[in-house]
Amino acid sequence: MTPIITAFERSPDGGKGLARDTRVRWALEEVGQPYEVRLVSFAQMKAPGHLAIHPFGQIPTYEEGSLCLFETGSIVFHLAEKHAGLLPGDRDARARAITWMFAALNTVEPPVLDLTTARIFEADKPWSAERLPLVKDRVRATLDKLSVYLGAADWLDGAFSAGDLLMVSVLLRLRMSGILDEYENLAAYVARGEARPAYGRAFAAQFAVNAPSAS
């Protein structure tokens, strides 16, 4: 059975791969699972049909027969459980990889999202210029520690895992801010993730839909 995911009909990022369907596409590509995509407009995301599978009216979703999932962490975890390649077989190593999935989404992503909000959505607010340095410093406080932990390693805990897939996806959202480049090893880590053939296929698939030249 071919799973179906949802993605923006037209991503606001114009094909930079920052919309979260890219993470799910990447996981699907890593495990070699073909998939279909249903593109949705903002209006469709908030309509009852989509709300029935995503209570918060967002993308991505994942449908596999009667199973409907939302939340990228849950979808990537489901794929990693179902297929080989994204979680180690050893029980403790697997638990550590899952810990990194949570760390990416619960610890690193919140300040990264706050920065996007401050840089883009609140840029016209009178207090924006005063707040931005504080928000950036909160991102740096997290990246300082992540950078020390990663050190010279290729991946967070041995072989590439779903933890790295989500962490790289989250860090990619920082590129436009310039903060990622302040951390040589994290920038190299993200580049390693992007160099994976599965990421390349996922990026190309979303780009084909969202590039400014796409019809």
Ligand X SMILES: N[C@@H](CCC(=O)N[C@@H](CS)C(=O)NCC(=O)O)C(=O)O
Q: Which residues bind ligand X (CB under 6 A)?
A: 19-20, 45, 58-59, 71-72
CB closer to ligand X out of 23 and 183 = 23
CB closer to ligand X out of 63 and 183 = 63
CB closer to ligand X out of 45 and 101 = 45
Q: Give the whole-angstrom CA distance, residue 205 versus residue 198.
A: 11
Q: Give the whole-angstrom CA distance, residue 97 versus residue 90.
A: 10
A 10 A CB-CB count for 4 gives 16
Q: How far is the CB of 129 from ligand X (least distance, A)?
A: 26
Q: How far is the CB of 20 from ligand X (least distance, A)?
A: 4
Report the residue closest to ligand X, judged by CB.
58
Show Cβ contacts of residue 138 under 8 Å, excluding neighbours closer than 6 positions. Answer: 111, 114
Show Cβ contacts of residue 124 under 8 Å, excluding neighbours closer than 6 positions. Answer: none
Q: Give the whole-angstrom CA distance, residue 185 versus residue 5.
A: 33
CB closer to ligand X out of 140 and 175 = 175
CB closer to ligand X out of 45 and 118 = 45
Asked if residues 66 and 3 have their Cβ atoms less than 8 Å apart, the reply is no
CB closer to ligand X out of 10 and 201 = 10
Q: How far is the CB of 134 from ligand X (least distance, A)?
A: 23
Tokens of 206: 């979303």
Q: How far is the CB of 101 from ligand X (least distance, A)?
A: 11
Q: How far is the CB of 103 from ligand X (least distance, A)?
A: 14
Q: How far is the CB of 119 from ligand X (least distance, A)?
A: 16
